[in-house]
Chain A
Amino acid sequence: MAEKKKVLVIGGGFSGLTAAVESAEAGSDVVIVEKTPFLGGRVTQLNKYFPKLCPPNCGLEINFKRIKNNADISFYTLAEVESISGQEGNYNVTIKINSRFINDKCVGCNACNEACPVEMPNEFNFGLDKTKAAYITHNQAFPFKYAIDGKHCKGKSCAKCVEACKYDAIDLDMKPDTVNLNVASVVIATGWDLYDTAKLDNLGGGNIKNVITNMQMERLASINGPTSGKILRPSDGKEVKNIAFVQCAGSRDENHLPYCSYICCMASLKQATYLREQYPDSKVRIFYIDIRTPGRYEQFYWKVKEDPNVTLTKGKVAKITEDSATGDVELVVEDVLAGNKITEKYDMVVLAAGMVPSTKASKVPGEISYTHDGFVVASYLKKGMYAVGTAKSPVDVAKSVQDATGVAIKTIQSARR
């Protein structure tokens, strides 16, 4: 029998992992290309899933185990696809692999991290804290292998990590590599970025310390986050007892994102429960244009709404300022149903920022059509190319998983045609 035809999966987030695992378990040979040093994508940054409020790491762990146990799945981290050419059954792909500076001998002992003198903003926590240039994102990261950030590392002039590593796992001379592959099909699972709230000038423009994004809120509530799961506000570490959520921070706005980001209403309702659970005397107010909880999610909305300490108010917040003396945040909104302008102070304000497809900033090479907003137009893709999850439109994890599972059979068809 001839060599099995391969499937390329671009993106190692939950969509990509699902497509890879499902396709491989049906007999395909799968290669995952992930641009960061770790697999798992955005889901690794979440505290809980809605609506069941269960921990995302649970499902991730299962998928990681399926990958570890399957010889037909290989993956490249810190890798980017440089070119794609050909057609279904015969795509030639070039992959650039950037240097991790740490090899497979790493056992994850943390010695390099302790020795590293260079601090950098912790991107995994959306800048809420700092990390070292030799780092791992969290204690369940996969592969459990440290990485050294090439941009921040001082290189061989420092090399304190090399001295500290007992396993000869650090190679500061590591050069980028290029790999050429021939694959039968390509799955685009490039995922999403959070909308840059600095562009929302009337909502503080990213300059108010206690105005955070919904993804920062996930990190604040996560046990592996910067505050070990205690919801404390960034400016002074005060417990957050009085919080406001600003829905549609950028979404449904032709000046920013002209579409609904689909998940933010559920995310804010979910995050309301984080605070309510942690501080029984806390108060939550959610300001919205419309609460959009599609399908059966409506029940979750009813449940959160029942809590007397959670208030939902129709009206879009359009002005946010900082009380520099106390660090409190003042917002202005019109309560549409009452017809009055409200000016209120909060310990902290969460901007329910929207989803931007990763392909808005960096396109996948090849003949791929994108919408004005950067989403892949799936119906225009060449035969043998498939897009899944948030590469196509804003969706939640559950829908991404269904989508990716469905695409697995298409990859099998592409290989057999």
Chain B
Amino acid sequence: MAEQIIKSDLNFINDVISSGGESLKKCFQCATCSVVCNVTPDDKPFPRKEMLHAQWGLKDKLLSNPDIWLCHQCSDCTAYCPRGAKPGEVLGAIRKLSIEHYAFPSFLGKAVGSPKALLALLVVPVIIFILALMMQGHSLIPEGKIVYAETFMKVPYIDVIFSAAALFALAGFIMGITRYWKDLKSGVDISDNPWQKKVKGPMLMIIINTILEFVTHKRFKKCDVTVERANSHMFVFFGFVGLAITTAWGVAYLYGYEIFGIQPTAIFHFGETPYPQYDPMKIFGNISALVLLSGILLVITNRQKNAEKAGSGSYYDWLFISVILTIVTTGILSEVLRLANIPILAYPVYFTHLVAVFFLFAYAPFSKMAHMAYRTTALVFAKYSGREVK
């Protein structure tokens, strides 16, 4: 083998340790983890090699390799680790650092992962929404019947703010993923792994297959210790899908009426919000919210139940969970309090809801939410480069 000069990034080691991988140095390379892992390929399996690379600070090897994302943190490795080195948690920390590494703008990548910056990140949407309220001349607790879109935050404000947030996130994702893909490809060149040499496959089919895997949670279901996570994650996943459809549906109702003049037809209440409770869109949206709520509650209870075997999770994990929990609870409460007509509670809850949704949207490329983009990219690359689980 040719002589190799290893570049060790000591800061990276400390970053892994402070990002939830504090057990990193306990690993003594016995390889129990690679064997009990059900989602790793047989050739150059993870997570043992990642543990070594992380201990040695080989940042480039870790980031230019799709394996950290092929890991679904089943935590079978952590449960069976004879040293308490928690490979599942360490790989979670490396993924966080990967998101941070590819973040654009990069300061936001650091901020979202740091508890110290939480307040500043929250202040941004709070100020935006207070300014929006002031521009409309609304107080924080308006009087009269609650119609959020009239008495509080008018639709154009919502649309402008969230479209901007979404575009900002989209730009972040495009920048991050582009850089990541480039590094993955360059990883093929610097790698001594034979599997990375056989780049192949029709891209479209690969993307379709990857999406099908998500929908069925095929990989997640291979977990042993935390097999119930496949269900909780599926609930959260489809809860979000349902709410996305609801949003599109709402847009169709509103602008279908305003722009195209579509009148309420049959059971569909085209027109202005709020829509009656028996409208199909409303029913669909409420069900989606309940699916998301049960999903995120399952996530929390499963995590607590498995904490001893699988590790208790990092700040990064819990921030993401908390944001989703806040969105879904404030969302449901906003509706309930509106129907009950309790303005003193309804408006602050709705305001919190707006802040939380903004937080999730605008910071998506930097929070754990980014896993959806990076994991997809890594899985597509893994299939594309012939790195597949048997």
Interface residues of A (CB under 8 A from B): 202, 248, 252-256, 289, 314-319, 332-334, 336, 339-341, 343
Q: Which residues of B contact A318 (CB under 8 A)?
A: 31-33, 35-36, 80
Q: Which residues of A contact B33 (CB under 8 A)?
A: 318
Closest 7 CB pairs of A and B: A253-B82, A318-B35, A334-B31, A341-B42, A316-B30, A334-B34, A318-B32
**A341 and B45 in contact (CB under 8 A), knowing A317-B35, A332-B35, A334-B34?**
yes
**A319 and B35 in contact (CB under 8 A), knowing A254-B82, A340-B42?**
yes
A-B contact pairs, 16 of them (CB 8 A): A202-B80, A252-B30, A289-B30, A315-B35, A316-B82, A318-B33, A318-B36, A332-B35, A333-B31, A334-B35, A334-B45, A340-B43, A340-B45, A341-B35, A341-B40, A343-B42
Residue B84 interfacial (CB < 8 Å): yes
Question: In the complex, A254→B82 CA distance in Å?
Answer: 5
Nearest A residue to B48 by beta-carbon distance? A334
Question: In the complex, A332→B38 CA distance in Å?
Answer: 12
Q: Which residues of B contact A252 (CB under 8 A)?
A: 30, 82
A289 near B28 (CB under 8 angstroms)? yes
Query: Smallest CB–CB gap between A337 and chain B, Å?
Result: 10
Contact of B80 among A255, A315, A334, A336 (CB under 8 A): A255
Nearest A residue to B40 by beta-carbon distance? A341
Query: Smallest CB–CB gap between B78 and chain A, Å?
Result: 11
Query: Smallest CB–CB gap between B24 and chain A, Å?
Result: 16
Interface residues of B (CB under 8 A from A): 28-36, 40, 42-45, 48-49, 80, 82-84
Further contacts, 10 of them, CB under 8 A, given A254-B83, A289-B30, A334-B31: A248-B82, A253-B82, A314-B31, A316-B35, A318-B36, A339-B45, A341-B35, A341-B42, A341-B43, A341-B45
Contact of A340 among B32, B44, B80 (CB under 8 A): B44
A255 near B82 (CB under 8 angstroms)? yes
Q: Which residues of B contact A289 (CB under 8 A)?
A: 28-30
Query: Smallest CB–CB gap between B103 and chain A, Å?
Result: 31
Question: In the complex, A332→B28 CA distance in Å?
Answer: 19
**A336 and B82 in contact (CB under 8 A), knowing A317-B35, A318-B36, A341-B35?**
no
Question: In the complex, A185→B44 CA distance in Å?
Answer: 59
Question: In the complex, A322→B213 CA distance in Å?
Answer: 31
Question: In the complex, A318→B36 CA distance in Å?
Answer: 6
Query: For chain A, what secondary structure do more than half of its interface residues adopt (helix, strand, loop), or is it mixed?
Result: loop
**A336 and B35 in contact (CB under 8 A), knowing A252-B82, A318-B80, A341-B45?**
no
**A316 and B31 in contact (CB under 8 A), knowing A253-B82, A336-B48, A340-B42?**
yes
Question: In the complex, A333→B33 CA distance in Å?
Answer: 10
Question: In the complex, A254→B83 CA distance in Å?
Answer: 6
Interface centre among B28, B34, B43, B84 (most CB of A within 10 A): B34
Q: Which residues of B contact A316 (CB under 8 A)?
A: 30-32, 35, 82
A341 near B34 (CB under 8 angstroms)? yes
A336 near B44 (CB under 8 angstroms)? no
Nearest B residue to A343 by beta-carbon distance? B42
Question: In the complex, A43→B34 CA distance in Å?
Answer: 37
Q: Which residues of B contact A341 (CB under 8 A)?
A: 34-35, 40, 42-43, 45
Q: Which residues of B contact A202 (CB under 8 A)?
A: 36, 80
Nearest B residue to A342 by beta-carbon distance? B42
A315 near B84 (CB under 8 angstroms)? no
A248 near B30 (CB under 8 angstroms)? yes
Question: In the complex, A340→B34 CA distance in Å?
Answer: 9
Question: In the complex, A192→B330 CA distance in Å?
Answer: 60
Query: Smallest CB–CB gap between B68 and chain A, Å?
Result: 16
Interface centre among B80, B82, B83 (most CB of A within 10 A): B82
Interface centre among B28, B32, B44 (most CB of A within 10 A): B32
A336 near B31 (CB under 8 angstroms)? yes
Q: Which residues of B contact A253 (CB under 8 A)?
A: 82-83
Q: Which residues of B contact A256 (CB under 8 A)?
A: 82
Interface centre among B28, B30, B40 (most CB of A within 10 A): B30
Q: Which residues of B contact A343 (CB under 8 A)?
A: 42
Interface centre among B33, B35, B45, B83 (most CB of A within 10 A): B35
Q: Which residues of A contact B36 (CB under 8 A)?
A: 202, 318-319
Q: Which residues of A contact B83 (CB under 8 A)?
A: 253-254
Query: Smallest CB–CB gap between A342 and chain B, Å?
Result: 8
Q: Which residues of B contact A336 (CB under 8 A)?
A: 29, 31, 48
Interface centre among A202, A314, A336, A339 (most CB of B within 10 A): A339
Query: Smallest CB–CB gap between B23 and chain A, Å?
Result: 11
A254 near B44 (CB under 8 angstroms)? no
Question: In the complex, A253→B80 CA distance in Å?
Answer: 9
Nearest A residue to B32 by beta-carbon distance? A318
Q: Which residues of B contact A314 (CB under 8 A)?
A: 31
Query: Smallest CB–CB gap between A223 and chain B, Å?
Result: 36
Question: In the complex, A87→B346 CA distance in Å?
Answer: 76
Nearest A residue to B31 by beta-carbon distance? A334
Question: In the complex, A334→B80 CA distance in Å?
Answer: 15
B35 near A333 (CB under 8 angstroms)? yes
B42 near A315 (CB under 8 angstroms)? no
Query: Smallest CB–CB gap between A150 and chain B, Å?
Result: 40
Q: Which residues of A contact B30 (CB under 8 A)?
A: 248, 252, 289, 315-316
Question: In the complex, A314→B44 CA distance in Å?
Answer: 15
Question: In the complex, A343→B43 CA distance in Å?
Answer: 12
Question: In the complex, A318→B77 CA distance in Å?
Answer: 10
